[in-house]
Amino acid sequence: MTISKAIQDLSIKSLESTYNKLSNAYKSMTEKGSNTTLVKKRRNAVTIGLESLKDTWYGEGFSYDDEIILTSKEVLQGILPSIEKQIAHAKEGSSQKTLNERRLHALNLAIESLENRLV
């Protein structure tokens, strides 16, 4: 599948933004003494998905074993329903809806990229 440069750039930016959001959540949860297991898992999965896309599109290098790739793919798939729910509730044409649609698309591309490494 051919992905335009514009979509590639938007997807990378979206995943970087998602990573930053998860990092901030992790930091604030750590400070409050909350359980950070899920946020940490998601942050790591987003990192691996992002690295997979960057390698696929820009040849930046990727070296994770199948077990880590599979786990990351499953964690990313687990994020999708909550984003789909947010999109369904967001107002048509709102920046929130656009942001989440981009995030959903970027995550799907990352999942596909990880799947391709497991073949």
The Cα-based distances of 98 to 17, 101, 105 in angstroms read 14, 5, 11
HSE at residue 30, side-chain half, CA atoms within 13 A, is: 9
Side chain identity, residue 21: K
For the chain, what is the domain count? 1
Domain, as residue range, for 37: 5-117
Residue-by-residue pLDDT tens, the chain, 119 positions: 689 999 999 999 999 999 999 999 999 999 999 999 999 999 999 999 999 999 999 999 999 999 999 999 999 999 999 999 999 999 999 999 999 999 999 999 999 999 999 97
79 and 42 Cβ atoms separated by less than 8 Å: yes
Collapse the DSSP code of 24 into the 3-class scheme (helix H, G, I; strand E, B; otherwise coil) and give the result: helix
